[in-house]
């Protein structure tokens, strides 16, 4: 269902292109039974005042309230960026992810773990479970990687 500039549900196996919406952008497909819908993929530029929500997103997404995806590859800009797996640049008030690789700029940056080089810049930066192999740079008032905390600057290089 698409209500131009209000709410966009692309309703395709893989949505591509540019979408601008007040409420939000999603991509759900109703199963043939008519009782279930499933979240699908999206590539491109998604802009919403409300929220963007996809299974796998690649590209640039901007939302005033929230970007919520299973997987994000690219750039996410929003009040809250919430994803299971993130690879790219996340800019927001609160950035939360389970598996993180890239750059995160926000008031609070929290990752359950990392799977590559990670940079976090904000007031509170947390990587709960460190992978033991990657470099991590944190700049903020409170920085924590695994069980190691350091105020202001925390650089972790496993080779040293």
**Residue-range domain boundaries for the chain:** 2-156
Predicted structure pTM score: 0.82
Q: State CA 136 to chain mean position distance.
A: 18
Half-sphere exposure of 98 (CA within 13 A, CB side): 8
**What percent of the chain stands above pLDDT 90?**
41
- The answer to whether the beta carbons of residues 132 and 116 sit under 8 Å apart is no
| pLDDT band of 1, cuts 50, 70, 90 | very low
């Amino acid at each position: 269902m698409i209500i131009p500039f209000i709410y966009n549900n692309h309703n395709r196996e893989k949505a591509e292109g540019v979408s601008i919406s007040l409420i939000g952008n999603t991509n759900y497909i109703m199963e043939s039974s008519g009782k279930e819908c499933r979240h699908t993929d999206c590539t491109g530029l998604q802009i919403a005042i409300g929220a963007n929500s996809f299974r796998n997103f690649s590209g640039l997404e901007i939302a005033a309230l929230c970007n919520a995806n299973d997987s994000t590859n690219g750039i996410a800009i929003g009040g809250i960026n919430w994803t299971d797996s993130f690879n790219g640049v996340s800019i927001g008030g609160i950035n939360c992810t389970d598996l993180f690789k890239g750059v995160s700029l926000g008031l609070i940056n929290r990752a359950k773990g990392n799977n590559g080089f990670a940079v976090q810049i904000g007031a509170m930066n947390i990587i709960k479970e460190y992978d033991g192999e990657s470099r991590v740079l944190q700049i903020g008032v409170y920085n924590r990687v695994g069980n190691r905390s350091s105020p202001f600057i925390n650089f972790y290089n496993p080779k040293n």
